Chain A
Amino acid sequence: GAGVSQTPSNKVTEKGKYVELRCDPISGHTALYWYRQSLGQGPEFLIYFQGTGAADDSGLPNDRFFAVRPEGSVSTLKIQRTERGDSAVYLCASTQGGPGNTQYFGPGTRLTVL
C-alpha cells in the first residue's frame, strides 16, 4: 500500500471490554509508533517499535495497554478493561529513517467507550 493503514476506522465498545487496534505501516519501514489524540490536543506518544521489539513504551498510561509487532511489520495495540477515558483517536505512524526520520501517519482509529 501507499501509506499507513489502520483498522478499524471506528470502534465503539462498552466499558470493561477488550479491544484490538491494528496498524499496517508503509512497506519497509522499520520503526512504528502509536500515539493517542484527544479532541483539541496534539498526538501523545504511547509506544514505539524498532523492528519487532518495543524500544520505548514509557507513554503507555497503565498496564491495561499493550502492543505487539511480532514480525516487524503489522502492529496491534491491545486495550483491556476499557474505560470511558480511553476514548480518543489512536494514531499509528512509521518511518524508514532518512533525513529527519520523518514519521508518516495513518488515518487513525476513533475509539469510543460507552
Chain B
Amino acid sequence: GQNIDQPTEMTATEGAIVQINCTYQTSGFNGLFWYQQHAGEAPTFLSYNVLDGLEEKGRFSSFLSRSKGYSYLLLKELQMKDSASYLCAVRSLPGNTPLVFGKGTRLSVIA
C-alpha cells in the first residue's frame, strides 16, 4: 500500500521559521514533491527531491532521507501570504507516472 503522513495543521508567526514534516511508505520511490495550495486554487510546484539531502530555493528548502522515508519543507522569514496548504507527494514508479499525495498541512501565519 501507499501511505503518506503529514500534520493536519500548523500555526507560525510572521518572520519566523517553520518545518513541515512528511513521512512516507510506498511500494517504490522515484522522487518526492512539495506543492503549495492556497484555498480554492491549484497546487503550485515548490520543490523536488530524489537524492538524500537538502535542496534550497530562496526562502523554501526541502530535505529528503530515503532510508528513513522522511522529508521536510522548511519555510524561512514567514510572510502572511505563506498561509496555505502544503502537500507532500511521492512518485512510486519511474517515468511520467502519477503522484501519491498526502492530505496536506494547513499552515496559518499569524502576526
Contact = CB atoms under 8 A, between A and B. Distances in A.
Given A42-B89, A43-B43, A91-B43, A103 B48 contact: no
Nearest to A4: B42
Given A45-B100, A107-B42, A100 B33 contact: yes
Interface of B (DSSP majority class): loop
Contacts of A104: 45
Given A101-B91, A105-B44, A56 B50 contact: no
B2 to A, nearest CB: 10
A62 B48 CA distance: 32
Interface in A73-114: 91, 95, 97, 99-108
Interface residues of A, number: 29
Interface of A (DSSP majority class): mixed
B96 A100 contact: no
Nearest to A103: B99
Interface of A: 4, 30-31, 33, 35, 40-45, 48, 50, 55-56, 59, 91, 95, 97, 99-108
